[in-house]
Amino acid sequence: MPINVKTAGFATTIQDLGRPGYYHLGIPMGGAMDRFALRCANMLVGNDEGAAGLECVFMGPELEFTEDSVVAVTGGDLPPKLDGEVLESWTAIEVKAGQVLTFDYLRSGARAYIAFAGGIDTPPALGSRSTYPIGALGGVEGRAIQPGDVLPLGKAATAAKTGANIPEDMRRMPEKTARLRILPGLYAHRITDAAAKRFYDETWKVASEADRMGYRFKGGTPLEFVDREPPFGAGSDPSNITDACYPYGSVQVPSGTEPIILHRDAVSGGGYFMIGTVISADMDLIGQLQPNVETQFVQVDMETALTARRERADALDKVRAHLA
Amino acid sequence: MTSRYTFGGDEHIFVEVSEEMSLEAFFTTLSMTNAVRDAKIDGVTEICPANASFQIKFNPDVIHPDTLLVRLKDMEETANQAEPVLKTRIIEIPVLYQDPWTHETLMRFRERHQDPEATDIEYAARINGYDSVDAFIAAHSGSPWFVSMVGFVSGLPFLYQMVDRDRQIQVPKYLRPRTDTPKLTVGYGGCFSCIYSVGGAGGYQMFGVTPMPIYDPEQKMNYLKDFMVFFKPGDIVKWKPIDRAEYDRCIEAVEANTYTPRIREVVFSLDDFNKDIDGTNAKLEEMLNAD
């Protein structure tokens, strides 16, 4: 039951929950930036939560259905339209063969997820259909979708209930000034206490370089470093370290100026110091930040991080119970 | 060596074995990560060795971060006592130094370079005190290199030269990273050489290009059938300078899928190496060239 891609939108990629296990070789886990939203979309159409769907950035594609199907759109507010009629997001929608799914303009957030009953059935690479363009893995021939592509769908489960909906209070979007919680650590000792305090006090803005690899922020005061003799192999810039691994969510600040938070398609390592790591509970939020959104970095401890993680798991369980 | 342990959020433990690069730090990194792998700890999902540090990714729903931290620290003692001996392989990598493709690329990004009047390799030769580019190439290709980390992007190896620290080549990265680097460029930044497994952005100085693919997502190359990434940490590499005619012959073989890298199994002892660096390297080269 293939889908014909009429127009592709902007960097629309096939994503599932990713391919963990190869980060030590420079192949990142990938997968949906907003994992919660993808899981919800899949649940709505009766799929396994990890089935492959489309991740749309800022705008949607135009998709023609060749057979009857059920779809759901979640994540950022990108209203779906069927043959021109605007429909509800976060809702299972029945689609008839021959109908064309398009999208209205993005109202909020940055990324929307489209799930199809049966899931997209392109060939997996290293256990995942997620698109990783740098390594030419997954997706359609290792790249974002293009007009003319034909997306195969898997066999739909019988569980898809047209009209099923996830109410607004069960969804999650960033606040107007986004708050990203960070556990300080890694090479935080490289900057002065005053610089660290300012980093968390100031309000930053998402810069234009913001994609699946990482999000850059601007607008804060450059960080002051603690003096040192450069260690052999590190390089002469005070922000350099001997090339090391980068955790997902780690916050590096090249030359102390613009922080970069690495995301699902992270480079696995490099030579810049990091001041801490965004906690796992807040990683999904980053995928919903548009350029210029104001962002506050909030310092937390491990206990808070683990509590927040449990809250996210509970929120997902609530959606599961609601749709069961 | 006493390592520094720190959390990377609630899903990673980052261990800095040493702030500075050394073969000792790299060996400790390897034995620690091997010990963690062998321990098969529930909840550990990724084990990533780097040059002088490593990172463990874990699922905190399965193992509490503090519990894992204690277990890792317990392993450090054992790893420190492990004999620094490595069963590995030595691989010959042909390099066309000063090739036309990296030359064309570096000329496009001169304004991002420390020395816009020179090429990358001329600059590297000069600041490392070599009289000529040829002398520099002889030094770069004269001794073997350890693959001390695989990463950044798909299967990209970082390599550390097996010589005394005072003979180590060091070059800064570009002032601002390039937006383009040809695939299979042999690069250099800090004290590390690298091979760009795929084309793309990069900040390392560009010295040449190898005809030998090291990453094949389609797994069609005969020597990449089993896995798409060629290198692993602990591999030893010897660069072989080649001319354009030989480069073209290699490319033909790659295209016909008949190219076979020269690889020999070797045992490397860090103690023997420290006692006699040049002697150990000469023996490695002998083994590489033996039939």
CA distance A244 to B49: 8
Give pLDDT tens digits for B90-135. 999 999 999 999 999 999 999 999 999 999 999 999 999 999 999 9
CA distance A267 to B11: 17
Closest C-alpha to B17, from B4, B7, B8, B27: B4
The CA distance from B112 to the nearest CA of chain A, in Å, is: 16
- For residue B266 the two structure tokens come to 């070797």
pTM here? 0.95
- In this structure, the number of other CB atoms found within 10 A of the CB of residue B175 comes to 11
B1, B6, B68: best to mutate for the A interface, most A CBs within 10 A: B6
CB contact under 8 A, A309 and B61: yes
Contact, A296 vs A177, CB < 8 A? yes
CB contact under 8 A, B14 and A186: yes
Residue A125 contacts B where some CB pair is shorter than 8 Å: yes
Identify all chain A residues contacting B154, using CB atoms and an 8 Å cutoff.
25-27, 134-135, 137
Start-to-end CA distance of chain B, whole Å, equals 39
Among all residues of chain B, which has the CA nearest to that of A136? B217
- Helices (H) then strands (E): counts for chain B: 8, 12
Identify all chain A residues contacting B55, using CB atoms and an 8 Å cutoff.
244-245, 247
CB contacts under 8 A, A 49-88 vs B, are none
A137, A181, A245, A301: best to mutate for the B interface, most B CBs within 10 A: A245
Contact, A174 vs A261, CB < 8 A? no
Question: For chain B, how many residues are written?
Answer: 291
* pLDDT string in tens for chain B (291-residue length): 689 999 999 999 999 999 999 999 999 999 999 999 999 999 999 999 999 999 999 999 999 999 999 999 999 888 888 888 999 999 999 999 999 999 999 999 999 999 999 999 999 999 999 999 999 999 999 999 999 999 999 999 999 999 999 999 999 888 888 989 999 999 999 999 999 999 988 889 999 999 999 999 999 999 999 999 999 999 999 999 999 999 999 999 999 999 999 999 999 999 999 999 999 999 999 999 988
CB burial class (10 A; 0-12, 13-18, 19+) of residue B170? middle
Closest C-alpha to B258, from B209, B284, B227, B220: B220
Strand partners, B237: B91, B145
* pLDDT string in tens for chain A (324-residue length): 699 999 999 999 999 999 999 999 999 999 999 999 999 999 999 999 999 999 999 999 999 999 999 999 999 999 999 998 999 999 999 999 999 999 999 999 999 999 999 999 999 999 999 999 999 999 999 999 999 999 999 998 776 778 899 999 999 999 999 999 999 999 999 999 999 999 999 999 999 999 999 999 999 999 999 999 999 988 888 999 999 999 999 999 999 999 999 999 999 999 999 999 999 999 999 999 999 999 999 999 999 999 999 999 999 999 999 998
Residue B59 contacts A where some CB pair is shorter than 8 Å: no
Contact, B88 vs B103, CB < 8 A? no
For A259-309, the DSSP string reads -EEE-TT--SEEEE-EEEEE-GGGHHHHTTPPTT-EEEEEE--HHHHHHHH
Instruction: Give, for A314, the enclosing helix (H) or strand (E).
Output: helix A302-323
Residue B114 contacts A where some CB pair is shorter than 8 Å: no
- Non-local (6+) Cβ contacts of A215 within 8 A are A206, A207, A209, A260, A261, A263, A286, A289
Three-class DSSP labels, B41-108: CCCEEEEEECCCEEEEEECCCCCCHHHHHHHHHHHHHHHHHCCCEEEEEEEEEEEEECCHHHHHHHHH
- In this structure, the number of other CB atoms found within 10 A of the CB of residue A82 comes to 17
The CA distance from A279 to the nearest CA of chain B, in Å, is: 5
CB contact under 8 A, B7 and A185: yes
CB contact under 8 A, A244 and B14: yes
* Three-state DSSP class for residue A312: helix
Question: Residue B152: which of A26, A247, A276 has the nearest Cβ?
Answer: A26
A17, A22, A25, A212: best to mutate for the B interface, most B CBs within 10 A: A25
Question: Residue A302: which of B7, B19, B156 has the nearest Cβ?
Answer: B7
Residue B142 contacts A where some CB pair is shorter than 8 Å: no
Q: E-strand spans in chain A?
A: 3-7, 13-15, 53-57, 62-65, 69-77, 80-82, 85-86, 93-95, 100-103, 108-116, 150-151, 178-184, 203-210, 214-218, 240-245, 250-252, 260-262, 269-272, 274-278, 294-299
pLDDT at position B48 is 97
Contact, A116 vs A3, CB < 8 A? yes
Largest CA distance in chain B: 59
Question: Tokens 């790659």 — which residue?
Answer: B254
Question: Residue A245: which of B55, B165, B173 has the nearest Cβ?
Answer: B55
CB burial class (10 A; 0-12, 13-18, 19+) of residue B249? middle
